[in-house]
Amino acid sequence: MRALVTVMGLHLSALIAFAQDPTTATERHQLADGLYARGMYELAAAEYEALLGESDRVAGADAAYFRLGECQRHRGNLSAADKAFKRVFEKYPDSAFRHRAGFRRAKLFMDADKLESAVPLYEALLATEPPPDIAEPAHYHLGDAYMQTAKPAKAKRQFGIVRQQFPDSPFTVYATLKLASLETDASGEPGLDAVTLFNEVLGKSTSDRVSAEAIFQLAEIRYARGEFDKSATLFERLLKEFPEDQRTAGAWMRAAWVALKAGLYADALKTAEVSMKVAQPELMPDWLYLKANAERQLSLNEEAIATYDSVLASSGTERLKSAAQEEKAHVLYRMGHYVDAAREALEITLTDDNRKDV
């Protein structure tokens, strides 16, 4: 190991020494490539700039500009990287680096969240008919950019191209996931193919993140359709199989409400009791209200009344407290405590929705 380190050190020393006096453009290019290969981007960029400053007609100028762009990208100098990639793409139409430079340039703007700038660059790149290894991610990222800039029809077309032309691409599962999410319109009603697409994602996914997202979206679709039993099963799967996923943390309350609507009152109560132990203070009134409803459905009347009282004493919204007071009155009425039920009813704020029941 010590001998290897010594040899590498001598080789690096030789490169740096050579950097002080390269005698030809070819030697300078070789030096720059050597520094680039070792990740010494600042030194490599200086050599590429020196090489290209003499004349951009030197042999391999297209490769030098591309690697200069890569050096600047790694250094975080995005403006300089963009300039270098642009030159390769526009000035060297026959270069083997042209399509890679066009993709890198578009991705610079995509990663910087400048989507309106990234879109025309991806479009220009795809117009040149790049090879599959570049066309695949370009179609996917263009679809993503369209999706994020509220152009769903164009986004669907790009994701569809990925699915049809590159079925074995690693981007296909992600494109299918995005396409499925677009099959839900602005009102939240599921599209005709959304369930099929999300199930396809589950069948092909090798990523926990993607699988968890597909399960969550399927659960939401089933919920929107009133298929609470199916939704409850999916939420249960999400919570058990992917407890650390980013969707899971916010899904516990949804899962509990779905269980309640599906008639799984004991499951809803258990979820509420477990979640309340770690719930953030601002969510406690909502958990209390859910817990009280589960207790009421299980005919745990005394427990339900006590929990509704906790809601009324909490920092919950007036709407939540009014709902809790109405439910408490129902429990008292069911228990035959009519005077107490009437007293609670008199204190409820009347609305068009609750007036008749109250």
Q: Encode pLDDT of 61-79 as tens digits.
A: 999 999 999 999 999 999 9
Residues with Cβ within 8 Å of 292's Cβ and at least 6 positions away in sequence, in order, are 304, 307, 308, 310, 311, 324, 327, 328
**Domain boundary assignment for the chain:** 24-100, 185-263, 282-358
Alpha helices in 242-299 (DSSP H): 252-261, 265-276, 284-297
pLDDT at residue 56, as a whole number: 61
Tell me how far apart the alpha carbons of residues 178 and 181 are, in angstroms, rounded to a whole number: 5
pLDDT tens-digit readout, 32-65: 999 999 999 999 999 999 998 865 677 889 999 9
Tell me how far apart the alpha carbons of residues 346 and 337 are, in angstroms, rounded to a whole number: 14
pLDDT at residue 273, as a whole number: 95
- Burial of residue 102 (number of CB atoms within 10 Å: 0-12, 13-18, 19+): buried
pLDDT at residue 122, as a whole number: 98
Phi/psi zone of residue 186: left (φ > 0), alpha (ψ -120 to 50 degrees), beta?
alpha
Fold agreement (24-100, 282-358):
yes
pLDDT at residue 186, as a whole number: 47
Q: Can you name the CATH fold of 24-100?
A: 1.25.40
pLDDT at residue 257, as a whole number: 96
Whether 316 shows a pLDDT value over 90: the answer reads no
pLDDT at residue 14, as a whole number: 44
Tell me how far apart the alpha carbons of residues 200 and 138 are, in angstroms, rounded to a whole number: 22
Average pLDDT of the chain, as a whole number: 89
pLDDT tens-digit readout, 79-129: 999 999 999 999 999 999 999 999 999 999 999 999 999 999 999 999 999
Question: Out of 5-19, 92-106, 203-217, 330-344, which region has the weakest mean confidence (pLDDT)?
Answer: 5-19
184 three-class SS: strand
Tell me how far apart the alpha carbons of residues 130 and 136 are, in angstroms, rounded to a whole number: 9
How many CB atoms are located within 10 Å of the residue 111 CB? Answer: 12
Q: Can you name the CATH fold of 282-358?
A: 1.25.40
Mean pLDDT of 256-276: 95
Tell me how far apart the alpha carbons of residues 101 and 87 are, in angstroms, rounded to a whole number: 9
* Greater model confidence, 192 or 213: 213
Whether 141 shows a pLDDT value over 90: the answer reads yes
Question: Out of 148-162, 181-195, 235-249, which region has the weakest mean confidence (pLDDT)?
Answer: 181-195
For 185-263, which CATH class?
mainly alpha
Whether 193 shows a pLDDT value over 90: the answer reads no
Give φ, ψ of 70 to 5 degrees: -65, -40
Nearest to 28 by CA among 13, 48, 11: 48
| Tokens matching residue 290 | 């859910």
pLDDT at residue 57, as a whole number: 72
- Burial of residue 57 (number of CB atoms within 10 Å: 0-12, 13-18, 19+): exposed
Tell me how far apart the alpha carbons of residues 120 and 186 are, in angstroms, rounded to a whole number: 26
Residue 23: pLDDT band by 50, 70, 90 thresholds?
Answer: low
pTM of the model: 0.76
Whether 19 shows a pLDDT value over 60: the answer reads no
Residues with Cβ within 8 Å of 341's Cβ and at least 6 positions away in sequence, in order, are 329, 330, 332, 333
Residue 189: pLDDT band by 50, 70, 90 thresholds?
Answer: low
Tell me how far apart the alpha carbons of residues 331 and 51 are, in angstroms, rounded to a whole number: 84
